[in-house]
Amino acid sequence: MSGVCTAGCPAPRQNCAGVCTAIDSDSANCGACGRGCAAGQTCQSGSCMSVGGPDAGTVDAGRVDSGSAPIDTGPVFVDSGSAPIDTGPVFVDSGSAPIDTGPVLVDSGSALTDIGRVDSGSALTDTGRVDSGVASGCSAIPLGSALSPTVFGGSTAGRLSSHTPPATCTDMPAAVSPDVVYAWTAPSSGTFTFDTIGSGFDTVLTVRSGSCTGTALGCSDDIVNATTTTSRLTLALSAGQAIAIIIEGYGTNSGSYLLNITRGAVDGGTPADAGAPDPCAGVTTDGRCASSTIIEYCSVDTGGELPPSLQRFTCSPGERCAIDSGGAATCVASGTCIPGDSRCVGTSLQNCVSGTWSTTACPAQCVDSTVASFCAPAVPTTTTSGQLLYQARGPNSPSRPTDWSATTFTATAQAFTIVSVRQNADGTLSYFDAVTTTSGNSTGGRFTLRVPTTTTASDFLVAFAMASDGLGGIRYVVANPGFAAPGTQPPDTRGANPNAWAWLFQLNTFVNGGTLTITESMGSGAARIFDYLRFTYDYVTTYLPGSGRRLVAWMQLGTSWTCGACFSARPVSLFGSATSSGQLFESQAWFNGSTADQEYWSDSVTAHEFGHWVMSSYGTSPGEAGRHTIGGRVYPGMAWSEGWATYFSSDARRNPVYSDKQGGTFFWIDIAARSYRYPAWVRPVASAGLEQTIDENEVAAMLWSVRASSVSAPSQLLSALASPQMQGPSFNRGYRAWSWTSIDAFGTPVGAMRTSRPAPYLADFLDALVCSGFGTAAVNAATQPSVYYPYPSASPLCF
């Protein structure tokens, strides 16, 4: 509305060149006089809204605007006869806080009558849908590209029979049963599942191209033959592909029906997907020896959105390829020792040269240490003691955090390696001693080591974020990839000068008994990652014998990774030189060093990635991975892998709240709540079987629920992960891994194909747990098998 402005031109109207203008909605004067919206934009609440905003600029056949901020509630269908018509978006404003009422179906004719949603006051209520029609013929009810949780339903009773299902679909194709036809268009390329779960009769579901007379794309009679008589089928469709969905009865059956349309494969895929060529041509992720010095393994790097591929790793000189006791290809010494290794024998230093030990007498002491064995110089020494600390931050609230805390706290630096060193006049370094700092939250971080009696400005204490394996090697280390400039890098890449994170403190200013503090400006984020690796490693190895894969965790301030934070069991040799081959690490993890996000303060993330390490080291990773989002439903293998990692993170931290910060957004999820509330936490459906696509956090929540059942449950869960049943190469439930090229906006994998590679998933793990004697009551309480995840705890498949 416009008009001549008077002195009373009320807000939000404004006098624009003498015209009282609604600047909250006028596209030519949006928010201010003269401020026009660009093409494709409309004015909403004084702001120009682009396509994709609340109003995409479409014609609104049913706009209702009783307030200042109308909202598009989605398509509305009006049936003026036998064929409902989409009248376009409807805007409903129930007051100051408009609510999306979702699709509304209206049928005033002979077919569907959807009375839609009704605004009963302050809260809009979906009153459901009622089918009062008698016949639809082959005319289709348009659904646009709607997806569940919107459910479409009605009754086929009294309708005409206009469709005959394919003879391959049902043993009674010639029987006449009433049917209903829906027209639907794929909103994006990907896999979609159509089912009639919840229907009140024995259904037959057919999908055809274009219309109900088009080519049959698939059909389904019973989900489980003669047992579950509703129907379900999964199809790969292209964006914009139009299909007809026909629901009818088996034989002459009719009755009330429901149609659900979801993204992804609920049933693990159609038969056509199974057995797709394995891109690794039979080589497993455990690898094999392609030659005496080359490991060949299958890399499933979907974290970087790369397809599975065959990779090679060359053992260092002096090493050869061998299969370890667990069946994995690895590098072992080909001679007596690995070139570059060193050890002390009394006061003599032995270095491995060409596969044999070469002995050198030290001028004073020989020191075994995490970093290497070395001869200390013949210089008078004394001992000095101190405590190593580091600064850190955590979430700014234990329950509803919005960012990292504004202030730092100080933590003890436990299990760090401390070395005393002197820089000589010629630039070379002499090492006097090396020790590991003590454990304990208040008493930890302490060290006592030999230092020169007379100190100068060239004497230092160096703290390494590096843990000893107790055998002269490194168990895990936090390393800086050494890129020259800030930026985003793919995982498993490094700059010219990678280095172990280490901090240099001048010794001549250190007071015996004092403290050394790694400050935030010195990169204490790396220290926090190391401390949490230390904590989770010790937690796991308290319960599980063995030490798992050696791990290098990469973090550089200013460097982020294309995968976000991620883990891989890719081998890498590090810290070599012209005279040393360095050390082999069998796994790597990458942590975001963005100084804006400071993700290194997220213990949730560090422990999550270490959860992947636990599965990789003690169990079997299913080899399904990639980007994933909150609320996305993914294939069972990935849901198991990520769900386990999130569960482990919460288990180790004893906290069900997972928090993280990425791209300037801080977010948190409480897995114990088993609901996002917004968006809906989509629970599994019992009738969809064990191999249904599932929200990874549903898996985490189930495990968290099991954990709460007894004090010993956490260790029993860890033991089940490490049980023989979870080792492969095959798994009792017979699941085969999927791979895919990317995910769509909803988190649904696209470009998926099923491989022939055996993989474990949640049901295998629950088998292992129950088979170990774990109580089924706790398992059932977590899975709720009759309604949600139908794990049959009474009949586990035991090894």
Near other proteins by CB under 8 A: residue from 15, 19, 27, 31: 31
441: helix, coil or strand?
A: coil
Tallying the residues shown for the chain, one arrives at 799
What sign has the CA pseudo-torsion 719, 723, 725, 729?
Answer: positive
* Residue 376 to residues 399, 433, 438, Cα–Cα distance (Å): 51, 7, 23
- The answer to whether residue 124 forms part of the interface with other proteins (CB under 8 A) is no
Q: Looking at beta carbons only, is 68 or 82 nearer to other proteins?
A: 68
- The answer to whether residue 729 forms part of the interface with other proteins (CB under 8 A) is yes
Which x/- pattern over 332-371 shows residues binding other proteins (rule: CB under 8 A)? xx--xxx-xxxx-----x-xx----------------x-x
Which x/- pattern over 559-588 shows residues binding other proteins (rule: CB under 8 A)? ----xxxxxxxx----xxxxxx-xxx-xx-
- The answer to whether residue 696 forms part of the interface with other proteins (CB under 8 A) is yes
The CB-of-38 to other proteins minimum distance in angstroms stands at 9
Near other proteins by CB under 8 A: residue from 81, 214, 327, 734: 327
- The answer to whether residue 425 forms part of the interface with other proteins (CB under 8 A) is no
Q: Which of residues 187-246 bind other proteins (CB under 8 A)?
A: 187
Q: Looking at beta carbons only, is 220 or 748 nearer to other proteins?
A: 748
- The answer to whether residue 661 forms part of the interface with other proteins (CB under 8 A) is yes
Q: Which of residues 531-550 bind other proteins (CB under 8 A)?
A: 531-532, 534-535, 538-539, 541-549
219: helix, coil or strand?
A: strand
Q: Looking at beta carbons only, is 673 or 798 nearer to other proteins?
A: 673
117-125, 218-226, 237-245, 524-532 -> range binding other proteins (CB under 8 A): 524-532
- The answer to whether residue 718 forms part of the interface with other proteins (CB under 8 A) is yes
Q: Which amino acid is at 420?
A: S
Q: What are the two backbone dihedrals, phi and then psi, of residue 36, each rounded to the nearest 5 degrees?
A: -90, 150
The helix or strand, by DSSP H or E, that contains position 613, with its residue range, turns out to be: helix 603-618
The CB-of-211 to other proteins minimum distance in angstroms stands at 25
Which x/- pattern over 370-389 shows residues binding other proteins (rule: CB under 8 A)? -xxxx---------------
By CB atoms closer than 10 A (0-12, 13-18, 19+), residue 368 is middle
Near other proteins by CB under 8 A: residue from 558, 734, 756, 777: 558
Q: Which of residues 449-488 bind other proteins (CB under 8 A)?
A: 460, 462, 464, 469-473, 480, 482, 486
Which x/- pattern over 774-793 shows residues binding other proteins (rule: CB under 8 A)? --------------------
Q: Looking at beta carbons only, is 135 or 353 nearer to other proteins?
A: 353
- The answer to whether residue 796 forms part of the interface with other proteins (CB under 8 A) is no
- The answer to whether residue 663 forms part of the interface with other proteins (CB under 8 A) is yes
The CB-of-307 to other proteins minimum distance in angstroms stands at 12
Q: Which of residues 585-624 bind other proteins (CB under 8 A)?
A: 586-587, 595-596, 603, 605, 608-609, 612, 616-624
- Residue 86 C-beta-side C-alpha neighbours within 13 Å: 17
222-230, 271-279, 378-386, 521-529 -> range binding other proteins (CB under 8 A): 521-529
Which residue, chain included where needed, has tokens 């794990």? 791
Q: Looking at beta carbons only, is 660 or 698 nearer to other proteins?
A: 660
Rounded Cα–Cα distance for residues 365 and 21 (Å):
89
Which residue, chain included where needed, has tokens 């798994």? 731
Applying CB under 8 A, what is the total number of residues that bind other proteins?
A: 221
Q: Looking at beta carbons only, is 81 or 469 nearer to other proteins?
A: 469
Residue 62's DSSP bridge partners are: 90
Rounded Cα–Cα distance for residues 42 and 50 (Å):
7
Rounded Cα–Cα distance for residues 155 and 733 (Å):
37
107-115, 194-202, 686-694, 719-727 -> range binding other proteins (CB under 8 A): 719-727
- The answer to whether residue 317 forms part of the interface with other proteins (CB under 8 A) is no
Q: Looking at beta carbons only, is 51 or 123 nearer to other proteins?
A: 51
**CB 354: neighbour CB atoms within 10 A?**
11
Angle at the Cα of 195 from the Cα atoms of 189 and 200, rounded to 5 degrees: 160
Q: Which of residues 256-315 bind other proteins (CB under 8 A)?
A: 284-287, 297-304, 311
623: its two tokens: 């080899």
Q: Looking at beta carbons only, is 154 or 611 nearer to other proteins?
A: 611
What torsion do the CA atoms of 758, 764, 768, 773 make, to the nearest 10 degrees? Answer: -160
- Tell me whether strands 13-16 and 559-561 are parallel, antiparallel or unpaired: unpaired
Rounded Cα–Cα distance for residues 137 and 163 (Å):
8
- The answer to whether residue 711 forms part of the interface with other proteins (CB under 8 A) is yes
567: helix, coil or strand?
A: strand
- The answer to whether residue 498 forms part of the interface with other proteins (CB under 8 A) is yes
Rounded Cα–Cα distance for residues 790 and 770 (Å):
15
Q: What are the residues whose beta carbons fall under 8 Å from the beta carbon of 8, sequence distance 6 or more?
A: none
Q: Which amino acid is at 483?
A: F
By CB atoms closer than 10 A (0-12, 13-18, 19+), residue 285 is buried
- The answer to whether residue 329 forms part of the interface with other proteins (CB under 8 A) is no
Q: What are the two backbone dihedrals, phi and then psi, of residue 615, each rounded to the nearest 5 degrees?
A: -65, -40
Q: Looking at beta carbons only, is 178 or 637 nearer to other proteins?
A: 637
Rounded Cα–Cα distance for residues 763 and 773 (Å):
16
